Amino acid sequence: MFPVMHDELERTAESPTDSSVGPRSPAARMELSDASTAVGLAEAAIGSRVFGDASNALSAGSAEPLLIACRDAASKGERVAVLARAESLAAAREAMRRIAQARLSVVAHALSGHGGEELAALTDLGWGVLCASGPEDSFDLTLIARRAAEDCGVPFVVVHSHGHIGPGAGRAHAMIALPPDKACQGFVGPASRMKALHDPAHPSLAPIGDRAFGERVPFALGSALREYANVSGRRHDVFEKAPMGEAPLMLVGMGPVGDALFHSVAELRSRGYDVGAVSVSALRPFPGARLVKTLARALAITILEPIDEPMAHGGLLARELKSAFTDALTWAPGFPGIGRIPKLFVGVTGTSFDVADLTAICDNMLADEQGRRTFSFSDTDHALPRAAESRLAGSATVSMRWVLDDLETADGALAMTAALLAAALGLRATGIVMPTPGGGTTVDVFASREHARGGMARRGPKLVMATDRGIASSAAVAPLSPGAVLGVLSSSGDPTLPEAARTIVRERRVRALPLGYDGAAPGAPAAIAATCAGAALAVGARAQRSALDGAEVARLVAEHLTARGVADAGPGAERARRAFEAMHDALASAERDVDARAAEDRPRGEPVS
């Protein structure tokens, strides 16, 4: 039996905090993880048996064999989970339905691209559905879903966005804070609480129907969400809302889209928009009544989805929210009574968007009847008009991009950079690794004092690093803005910019900086990693106004390489030092160029702000 909770509708949805680790959290260790690694760490901490792993999760075949084996083990009273791609689980709907009918406390982990594909196929099977926006969310929701599933006897599926590399989508890596294993075990409870299918206490023998049985889920999930804050210091709810008060304009999204909206609100409000955001993480059970209560006073609401459904009235989240407002308008039991429905807009973001897109959305809502009720940034014919960004937007998050030749080099550079940003500047890094059209790999890196979230809303990078081959890609030059630096990685130290790249550098007044790494072919990945890490430390030090210098960078890199078994750490440390000092000077010059340009463009007599 699980404890009876008070009415979930009366709980506030405005309490979650931006802080990743609060003052009450137990001692935690930091580790760079992707979604599949985070799932494995969480399930291992509580002694679960996981069917499937990251290697076979790359296959898009049906997950039915894994689900059958998982069902057999759960029927014997084992604590089990499944790890597979979202489309693999969607191809095994009947096997998932049988698990739900047997009321087995199984947790399935669906590795997804940008969090929207195949999601609808998982919502009508009798499973709880949670949406994780990044690796740290993946770790947390794994434990929350496990606790809720075992409390209520309903299986859960957690959809992990940016969980694998695919067309138009990347795999996210992040420095996450891992609570002690004992704290995780105390939160979930011992494995002995699992009952075999023939046990008289098994939920399948409860003499109640499926709908009445499902009414247990919101209370079990709400309890798990609240109590998890005592384990990690991170507060979770079925949705998050910012700011605390009411706003006439609201943005609503789910998974990584909602996370990006939630962490872009402060920047939008600084630009003069009276706007708020809601990030939904629970799709089943859907918190319709609470969402209506939170959003009913808004004048206009835009619901953003990652993928388009051209012949439907919006995507999955839009349809759910419209249905909830209809129930509230007709005074359905359990819903707050309302007298009107705010004006609803539905948009499609595609795989990524930026803050300029969000300002266009706010302008669209303010246009009243002239605004487009449906739009799509992934379709140029249906996109909203947007103003060009004149210079880099201010943000507490440091943003960088690397365009490298292969995945191995990208992973190595990200691992070293994340570790050194944490050690030298106390910054937590998140990187999204994705293939570049025509070959190569693009890495978008974000770093901040707190956990760097909201990466799906891209910001103009302060630094773009590209190899001789990568500099010819649009991924290297398209995001450049005034005040940025383009670093060109070359083994010879004398790179040649293509004509198109030179034109963009000249028109946008970007500083181009050659960075020779002097690495022979076998040692090139390590040399590039050290160079990228040194340049990234320069960006972080400028942003944080740190007194970090080249000698300290060399020392930290040498310690990092020595701890990882590199016999001669001197060359790598020297490369990082040279890259740090050159990039630090280039950034200072770029900032002076932007200030001088702004002074030239300012009308005479106008005071300096």
Domains and CATH numbers, the chain: 17-232 (3.40.50.970), 239-382 (3.40.50.920), 398-601 (3.40.920.10)
Give the mean pLDDT of 130-141.
95
pLDDT recorded at residue 14:
38
Judge whether 157 and 129 are in contact, CB under 8 Å: yes
pLDDT recorded at residue 59:
62
Higher pLDDT, 553 or 440: 553
pLDDT band at residue 505 using 50, 70 and 90 as cut-offs: confident
Pick from 59-63, 165-169, 413-417: least confident: 165-169
Cα four-point dihedral sign 533, 539, 545, 550: positive
pLDDT at 48 over 60: yes
Give the mean pLDDT of 491-505.
80
pLDDT at 10 over 70: no
Cα four-point dihedral sign 468, 470, 473, 476: negative
Instruction: Calculate the alpha carbon distances from 274 to 14, 38, 387 in Å.
Output: 17, 36, 19
pLDDT band at residue 340 using 50, 70 and 90 as cut-offs: very high
What is the number of other CB atoms lying within 10 angstroms of the CB of residue 563? 10
Give the mean pLDDT of 428-432.
92
Copy the structure tokens of residue 436: 């570049």
pLDDT at 278 over 50: yes
C-alpha 456/C-alpha 242 separation (Å) is 17
The DSSP bridge pattern shows strands 80-85 and 49-51 to be parallel
pLDDT tens, position by position, 447-458: 988 766 666 777
Give the mean pLDDT of 547-564.
95
Most confident of 317-331, 494-508, 578-592: 317-331
pLDDT at 606 over 60: no
pLDDT band at residue 168 using 50, 70 and 90 as cut-offs: low
Amino acid letter for position 297: R
pLDDT recorded at residue 232:
92
Give the mean pLDDT of 461-480.
88
Higher pLDDT, 439 or 502: 502
Helix or strand (DSSP H, E) at 12: none
Give the mean pLDDT of 504-512.
87
Q: What are phi and psi of 49, to 5 degrees?
A: -95, 120
Vertex 447, ends 446 and 448: CA angle to 5°?
A: 135
pLDDT recorded at residue 592:
84
pLDDT recorded at residue 457:
72
C-alpha 402/C-alpha 423 separation (Å) is 21
pLDDT recorded at residue 410:
94
CA 374 to chain centre: 25
Q: What percent of the chain is predicted at pLDDT more than 70? A: 88
pLDDT recorded at residue 24:
41
Pick from 126-140, 306-320, 495-509: least confident: 495-509
pLDDT recorded at residue 103:
96
Q: Which of 498, 382, 509, 452 is nearest to 444 (CA)?
A: 452
DSSP state of 58: G
DSSP string across 62-92: --HHHHHHHHHHHHTT--EEEEEEHHHHHTT
Cα four-point dihedral sign 468, 472, 473, 474: positive
Reduced to 3 states, what is the DSSP secondary structure of residue 446?
strand
Tokens 């969402």 correspond to what residue? Answer: 291
Instruction: Kindly report the average pLDDT of the chain as a whole number.
Output: 87
Give the mean pLDDT of 320-330.
97
pLDDT at 329 over 50: yes
C-alpha 363/C-alpha 61 separation (Å) is 43
Question: What b/e string do you get for 480-503 counting C-beta neighbours within 10 Å, with b at 16 or more?
Answer: bbbbbbbbbbbbeeebebeeebee
Higher pLDDT, 388 or 264: 264
Higher pLDDT, 170 or 466: 466
- Please name the residues in contact with 27: beta carbons below 8 A apart, sequence gap of 6 or more: 180
pLDDT band at residue 508 using 50, 70 and 90 as cut-offs: confident
What is the number of other CB atoms lying within 10 angstroms of the CB of residue 7? 10
pLDDT at 69 over 70: yes
pLDDT recorded at residue 265:
92
C-alpha 471/C-alpha 448 separation (Å) is 27
Peptide bond into 167 cis (omega under 30): no
Vertex 170, ends 119 and 184: CA angle to 5°?
A: 70
pLDDT recorded at residue 4:
35
Instruction: Calculate the alpha carbon distances from 2 to 203, 217, 218, 287 in Å.
Output: 12, 10, 12, 20
Per the DSSP assignment, residues forming a β-bridge with 277 are 242, 251
Pick from 197-211, 355-369, 381-395: least confident: 381-395
pLDDT recorded at residue 5:
35
For the chain, helix (H) and strand (E) counts, in that order, are 19, 22
